[in-house]
Amino acid sequence: MADVIIENPIINSPFKEPERHFRFNEDGITNQIINKRRVSAYFVPIPNPKKKTTQQLLFQTEWTNDRLKENDFINRVRQQVKQWRMGGYVHITNTTRKLLSYWQNEDRYRRLFFCQIEAIETIIYLTEVAKSYGGAWIEDTLKAENDAANHDLFRIAMKMATGSGKTLVMAMLIAYHTLNKAAYPQDNRFSDAFLIVTPGITIRDRLRVLFPNDPGNYYRLHDLVPAELMDQLQRARIVITNFHAFIRREQIWGGYSLVDTSLPYFELQWTKII
């Protein structure tokens, strides 16, 4: 990669949709600014030919090249959500509209980043809007991908960069579902029960901020819920555990292998896992 000096890498506001980005070329990032948002893309490794030259044989490493490939599905979803946003957030509940307005109030003491708003917008769009706003193809695509991987569990993944506030978006998601479930208890699109599985004990403990009754909870710290709705948020039933709790435990006793297949069981009424 060529040496590039970028004196000021910050060229966008964190509170607005990105409008510019630095161009990449075959050598990597450049200091040339493109006046539009960068499209979602990823690098696809391309192996070098198996027939190696004498110089290549001197290195015991399989070097690869990279090819940039645009993520067509994500870019289409992003554009669809933007059109819905610009159209005034049609086809949503009054509770959802109140939350979106509260989160985007420019007079907030703690303003939320655009990436956080866009993440929750996308979940809201998929939950409430897509089928009636020209986005049925999104759910069809997600179902097809889930069936190919594990048809017993429907999953939607939101990918965010390190440091962009994923835990805060989780709190927004819990508030969104819980408050809508309190307002519309018969609507099975919403849930007030949440199972959060973490990769380890340390992260599990850090996520205590997602409990509405925790002294340092994110709902109050980041002002995510209007004061008059905080009591309703207490209805949320949240279990936070690390994935090791689901691993089968094997014990050796008297020459026999005894497998403990008991798994933690939580009495939660699920409607959807997102």
The Cα–Cα gap between 263 and 32 comes to 54
pLDDT for residue 51: 61
**What tokens does 113 get?**
């980043």
pLDDT for residue 74: 93
- DSSP letter for 265, please: -
The Cα–Cα gap between 193 and 178 comes to 8
pLDDT for residue 61: 47
Local confidence pLDDT in tens for the 274 residues of the chain: 457 788 889 999 999 999 999 998 777 788 899 999 999 988 777 766 666 555 554 444 444 567 778 899 999 999 999 999 999 999 999 999 999 999 999 899 889 999 999 999 999 999 999 988 888 899 899 989 888 888 888 888 888 888 899 999 999 999 999 999 999 999 999 999 999 999 888 888 999 999 999 999 999 999 999 999 999 999 999 999 988 888 877 655 554 444 444 444 333 333 344 3
Q: Which residues are within 8 A (CB) of 198 and not within 5 positions of it... i.e. 6 or more apart?
A: 204, 207, 240, 241, 242, 243
Each domain of the chain, given as residue ranges in start order, spans 21-70, 72-260
- DSSP letter for 134, please: T
pLDDT for residue 161: 87
pLDDT for residue 240: 94
CA distances from 201 to 102, 163, 194, 208 (A): 33, 20, 18, 11
Residue with tokens 């009424």: 269
pLDDT for residue 97: 97
Task: Tell me whether strands 193-198 and 237-242 are parallel, antiparallel or unpaired.
Answer: parallel
pLDDT for residue 213: 94
Q: From the CB of residue 217, how many other CB atoms can be counted at a distance below 10 Å? A: 19
Contact 132, 91 (CB under 8 A): yes
pLDDT for residue 156: 87
pLDDT for residue 256: 47
Contact 273, 154 (CB under 8 A): yes
Q: Is 112 exposed, middle or buried (0-12, 13-18, 19+ CB in 10 A)?
A: buried
